[in-house]
């Protein structure tokens, strides 16, 4: 079934071609920029899971082609594996690249990601660099390669989303790696608008352990992270920017360094990996506050780049 759907506002004027490889669809009419008309005579069950109601066609096989932005993503799901073949170009506008904080140019990739079709929950957090992939094929990678080094020997990772060092982020909370790969460090409002429905939760991607990744439009799920109150360790901490300017990091924790943040279950609704159960199914949330995108996963996974390559760094 081939359906041509006009993208929504905020400058998204391209035409999106969705080729949906589902055995049957439950939607009866096109309700948003990514909904697909139903050509089946069988009505949907009276009770659907939250994932089925929100994600619709994106839980099964689908292809997304955007002629304006060049997006090409195909997802195939069997009983155990979800395979994502994508050129990793977003299906929405981006900022200008190169820019003063990021010297790289967006280029199409030839990426194949293989994730479990569903999560095998282990209950133990394991660090992850590339959290997962958006429905449009653009990956979520919250960390950076930039480091602040102190005269006393300490070194600290610099956050992507902060106001101290310019890392060239655009209005989608994204920028470009040296190999030309565009990637998200936080939520993109344009992406949300493309994939949203009437539900508060928006299904935006898949984690490497097979869990679904959501965004709450109302912010109903709060992060369990807060800024630490004690001063940073180390003195004369700095980072040399791409223009050779020296960026100083003082003793006060302002959120610009990853180590500024601390987690407590009493602070919010989400666990240390920004996850929670939604109608009995463990899922992840992207939040407007730190950690933005999950930095660890609770399910079984093998950290690797697309095709088994080592992950790129910013």
pLDDT truncated to tens, each residue of the chain (314 aa)?
Answer: 233 333 333 333 343 333 333 333 333 333 333 333 333 343 334 456 778 888 878 999 999 999 999 999 999 999 899 999 999 999 999 999 999 999 999 999 999 999 999 999 999 999 999 999 999 999 999 999 999 999 999 999 999 999 999 999 999 999 999 999 999 999 999 999 999 999 999 999 999 999 999 999 999 999 999 999 999 999 999 999 988 999 999 999 999 999 999 999 999 999 999 999 999 999 999 999 999 999 999 999 998 778 655 556 67
Question: In a 10 Å sphere around its CB, with 0-12 CB exposed, 13-18 middle and 19+ buried, how is residue 90 labelled?
Answer: buried
Q: What is the pTM of this model?
A: 0.84
* pLDDT reported for residue 52: 84
* pLDDT reported for residue 57: 86
Maximum distance among all alpha carbons in the chain?
70
* pLDDT reported for residue 31: 35
* pLDDT reported for residue 55: 82
Bridge partners of residue 247, in order along the sequence: 239
């Amino acid at each position: 079934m081939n359906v041509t759907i006009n993208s929504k506002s905020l400058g998204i004027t391209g035409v999106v071609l969705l080729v949906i490889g589902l055995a049957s669809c439950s939607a009866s009419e096109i309700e948003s920029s990514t909904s697909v008309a139903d050509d089946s005579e069988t009505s949907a069950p009276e009770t659907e899971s939250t994932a089925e109601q929100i994600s619709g066609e994106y839980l099964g096989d689908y292809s997304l082609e955007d002629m304006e932005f060049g997006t090409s993503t195909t997802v195939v799901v069997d009983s155990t594996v979800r395979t994502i073949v994508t050129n990793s170009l977003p299906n929405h506008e981006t900022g200008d690249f190169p820019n003063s904080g990021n010297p790289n140019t967006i280029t199409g990739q030839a990426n194949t990601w293989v994730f479990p079709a569903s999560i095998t929950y282990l209950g133990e957090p394991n660090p992850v660099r590339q959290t997962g992939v958006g429905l449009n094929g653009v990956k979520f990678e919250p960390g950076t390669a930039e480091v602040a080094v102190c005269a006393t020997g300490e070194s600290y990772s610099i956050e992507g989303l902060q106001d101290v060092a310019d890392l060239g982020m655009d209005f989608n909370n994204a920028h470009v790696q040296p190999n030309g790969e565009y990637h998200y460090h936080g939520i993109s409002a344009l992406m949300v608008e493309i994939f949203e429905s009437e539900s508060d939760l928006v299904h935006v991607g898949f984690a490497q352990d097979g869990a679904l990744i959501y965004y709450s439009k109302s912010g109903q799920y709060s992060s369990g992270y807060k800024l630490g109150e004690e001063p940073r360790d180390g003195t004369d901490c700095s980072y040399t920017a791409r223009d050779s300017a020296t960026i100083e990091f003082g003793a006060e924790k302002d959120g610009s360094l990853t180590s500024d943040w601390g987690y407590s279950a009493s602070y919010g609704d989400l666990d240390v990996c920004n996850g929670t159960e939604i109608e009995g199914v463990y899922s992840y949330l992207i939040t407007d506050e730190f950690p933005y995108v999950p930095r660890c996963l609770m399910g079984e996974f093998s950290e690797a780049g697309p095709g088994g390559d080592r992950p790129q760094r910013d």
